[in-house]
Structure 1
Amino acid sequence: MVDHVLALQDLEVGYPGVRVVHGLNLDVADGAFVSLLGPSGSGKSTVLRTIAGLLPALGGRIVLEGGDITNLPPERRNVGIVFQNYALFPTMTAFENIAFALRVAKKPKADIEKRVHEVAEMAGITDQLEKKPASMSGGQQQRVAIARALVTGSRVLLFDEPLSNLDAKVRTSMRQEIKRLQTELGFTAIFVTHDQEDALTMSDMIVVLNHGRIEQIGDGRTLYRKPATPFICEFIGVSNELAPSLAARLLGREIKGRTFVRLEDVVLGAAQGIPGRVKHVEFLGAYSRIDLDAEGHAVSAMLIGDPLPEPGTTVSLAVRPNAAHIFAEATA
């Protein structure tokens, strides 16, 4: 039996005149890393802020470790928050940053000292406690922010797009750091991001939101290879949506509905295929993107290695067996 540490039950959230989250249901297992993924306006940050108590729920329940926290103030919810820019006090040392919430709660000095050193040791920053944020690396600041979130005893940490302002190389390093800390310390992470690469590489479970509703829940491989809706095909990874006539030619049967094919599942130079004229070749390092015109329809493919076809040439193209994602037309 799965032990759920957090449950959202028929959660409704909104602002005056606007409903943002519609009847959302979600169970989060203890120690899991869960990403809330979606485009801008999908409701992911609204869900996070409602769990934190920064926004009121208009309906439904939020249950943490078996207790209803729906109407509790933020300071009584026992969840920690790691903000986008870490939100460390620049004039305070790491020790003072971590101890801040305990001092506000008027905990005894000896208890504060003991607890700060406990979480600092867990986070591997004991040697950083007397430093101020400006003299620490980004990874060390991240560890201080997580230690501060854990110091009050929180076992659920909420991450509000902490990687969104970083360049690609630093972003990769930081997400590895967050995942390593989450695994080592065993806390439950709810991670909000609009970046699918963050979600795919870090998460045990990804919750894809669209217009305030859950579109699909699954691990990265499931979402990528077994998308449940056209939206998932378009949002996760890069796909071709094939026109019905082109889909019928490539798949060898009449298609009723929408058909999507991943770029890597388009095969160029196939013995049996249809002709496609190469319009553009884009070299991207590890792979190249080939844009083609097939019977008047745009199709793109991914190629690894050389040689690459020249623009203006004609190649044969096909679709790997069982690789197309077909969604039947909705009926009234």
Structure 2
Amino acid sequence: MTGYELPEVPCPENYLPIHMAGEGTNGYAYFCIPKRSITSPTNQSDLKKLRSKICVVKVATSRRFRKRDAVKREVDSLLAVQTQGGSLSKRVVQIVDIGGINELAGPWYAMAPIYGKSLDAFMRPYLIEDKSVPQAFVWHVFFQLFEGLAYLHSPRMVHGDLCSGSVMLDSAHQDYPGFPNVVLIDFGSYEAPTGNEEELKEAVASDAWQAYDIVHRLTWRGYQEPKLDPENDLDWANFINGLKDMKRASGNLARRLQGWDTREFLKRFGDIAANRRKGTTPEILQEIQEALNLKEIHKTLDQKLRAAVEWHSLEQVVEP
């Protein structure tokens, strides 16, 4: 027996599901490969080739109009980012198949795979064990998350539903060695502003509030805010106090507090973040890599890929 498990939600017929990648309010996501990529039973060489064909197919959990609309919004948003291009487009997940509405699967599309955890999943053991995430990692996530938002906001786009679950850590791609690339996913809640400047400002401020909250919570020890020691680490104290101040500013625009734009905050602390990341010790780098657990992710996917291909090959044999 192959040990292959059929997914709970049907996938588009041209794709072979391998393993669940995640689930959210708008649907399920599966690591898949195009069936046309499978030409023969797998040996080690074939498996390596098939790995390069892996993508993630996102399938809506309902065919209701609202779900179809969410998938369309997400596809349109991702295509707009790819059209914009630039080196920072990698801070947003890349679409590889615009999909459509499959008779069995419903609304779907396919995106490039991200081999890593969500920020939420990365943080969870630290919360449970009442530990602090390494400061260097906090500085890194702040730097790449905020530059990603700056990239997104520059052409008047917003995310609309930013949270630690929609921030992925791409362990397989590391612009700065030892640290995973930060990638934004889940754009299904995004709705383009109508053109009203005040509405756009509120949407950008909502993204900003979420970003400040995400990074602020990343500084906590377990479920407690960190105790600050400005005499020993003034930059860290200023950074955390700044996060809290900008949360208040972006969360209540009526108070007309200044400086909440994430681009301005990145200018204030970006160089500090880069320098602090540069000084990361080997012990901390090892802790981060162990927490990311990329080897186990690849091992599991390889096992699931082999089982899926074997099952598919058997299905082809028994079909009349």
Give the structure-2-normalised TM-score: 0.24
The structure with the larger Rg is 1
**More helix by proportion, 1 or 2?**
2
Q: Structure 1 or 2: larger strand share?
A: 1
TM-score (norm 1): 0.23
